[in-house]
Amino acid sequence: MSNHLADWVVSLILCHERPRHRVRQIEKFVDIAQKLRLMNNYSALRAFVAGINNATDDPTMEEFKARSPDQAKNLRSWDVLLQQIRSHRAYRLALRNSKGACIPALEVHMSDLIRAHEGNGDSNDAYPSKIHWAKFNMMGRFIASTLQCQAQCRNSNDYDFPNREAIAELFIKIPVMSTEMQKSRLMSEDFDFDDVHPSVPPPSRPKDIAGLRKPFFW
């Protein structure tokens, strides 16, 4: 779901030709990310930050910083929070100090489990008949920390939202912009139709882009 969410964010930004429209979309996504941070939803926050970073080039980001310096500062702080520096130390510290309902960035914890499993043998090399208990103890601690977050969600009303399956379907059943089209959009020059002479028709939009913008335009 986190990957679907990140792709959805990228598509909704790049479906706009004009830089200022992309900036408006980014501003709305940063507003959502702020609410996700307050809810300690690190999984969705990570998806939004990754999506915004993957969909912005330097000119778009510079315009965003000029228009919304406070939002740009928040985005930069979340980027630092979720960086891999020192084994995600900033994120782990924030997670440890999070109270109430909390949704962890499971990609980080899955990576911990994979590295613990692949980097350690199941038995002691010196005593093949002996189980390498330190490995399984370490994996148990990783799993326990995730289960603790699950228990915090179950014991809180912070995530008692109405069940709206149609929203979840937006991220899965409705196709998002393909990776190839995303890259071409990001590398191509941005059109600003305000500068085009009235007698010159604007460039035609791909059908899938027009269809994408229609249900999601804010």
pLDDT digits over 11-37, tens only?
899 988 888 899 999 999 999 999 999
- List phi, psi (to 5°) of 41: -95, 80
Q: pLDDT value at position 181? A: 67
Confidence of residue 202 (pLDDT cuts 50, 70, 90): very low
Q: Is the pLDDT of residue 143 over 70?
A: yes
Please write the tens of the pLDDT for every residue from 73-119: 999 999 999 998 888 999 999 999 988 899 999 989 999 999 999 98
Q: How confident is the model at residue 87, as a pLDDT?
A: 85
Confidence (pLDDT) at 201: 44
Arithmetic mean of pLDDT, 60-65: 92
The β-bridge partners of 147 are: none
Write down the pLDDT at residue 215: 42
Distance CA 163, CA 217 (A): 23
